[in-house]
């Protein structure tokens, strides 16, 4: 199973991580967003199965955050 590993910038400096059990890159990104809400909005370098996917992860985080914002707005309009 592929692994996602790398580092990202936090308030306290660089944080290293390794996710071994993710079923997909998207699942691993969602896990990291759950871990730190600022993930994807700071400097980072990410690999998936030993391939650099940093740009792809930045794009995924943006799409996920926009999707969440849209869903929240739709719920508010329905109430």
Instruction: Write down the pLDDT at residue 67.
Output: 81
Predicted TM-score (pTM) above 0.85: no
Bridge partners for 47 per DSSP: 5, 52
> For residues 1 and 13, what is the distance between their CA atoms, to the nearest angstrom?
29
State whether residue 8 is helix, strand or coil.
Answer: strand
Instruction: Write down the pLDDT at residue 72.
Output: 57
Per-residue pLDDT for 77 more than 60? no
The pLDDT tens digits for 5-50 are 999 999 999 999 999 988 999 999 999 999 998 899 999 999 999 9
Per-residue pLDDT for 79 more than 60? no
**In total, how many domains does the chain have?**
1
């Amino acid at each position: 199973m592929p692994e996602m590993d790398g580092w990202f910038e936090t308030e306290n400096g660089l944080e290293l991580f390794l996710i071994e059990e993710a079923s997909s890159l998207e699942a691993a990104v969602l896990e990291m967003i759950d871990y730190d809400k600022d993930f994807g909005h700071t400097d980072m370098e990410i690999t998936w199965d030993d391939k650099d996917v940093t740009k792809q992860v930045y794009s995924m985080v943006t799409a996920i955050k926009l999707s969440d914002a849209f869903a929240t707005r739709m719920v508010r309009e329905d109430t």
